[in-house]
Amino acid sequence: MRQSRVPFAMLMVAGVAGTLVSSAGSAIAQSAQERQAQCELSFVRDTRSALAVQYIRSACNWLALNGDSLLNERSRGYYICLVQQLSGAQANEAATAIISACRTSNPL
């Protein structure tokens, strides 16, 4: 079941990390808000762990605001790992282990 999410997750991350459509401040903020909301809707769905939901929201926020910046390319893998792997986590203990694994595999 996790494998079927991977292609969708990659597409979602690509959408979240897409280009900004306007140079006006309010249009950029709205676009980032929409990308963050879409990311959260896609990855929080069956997640029951409050810790996992918190980290998914934080990662979606980071990806919506910074995901397309080359300056943040090194950190991107960590946040992508969080949204992909925390999705569906049922317990905080599992979320803690996943967060640790994402940190280990994607050092900031």
Asked whether 36 and 64 are in contact (CB, 8 A), the reply is yes
**pLDDT digit string (tens) for 44-98?**
999 999 999 999 999 999 999 998 888 888 899 999 999 999 999 999 999 999 9
Which of the 8 DSSP states describes residue 67?
A: T
Give the three-state DSSP class for 24: coil
Domain-wise residue ranges, the chain: 2-105
Which residue shows structure tokens 């950029």?
Answer: 28
Which residue shows structure tokens 């980290």?
Answer: 55
pTM: 0.72
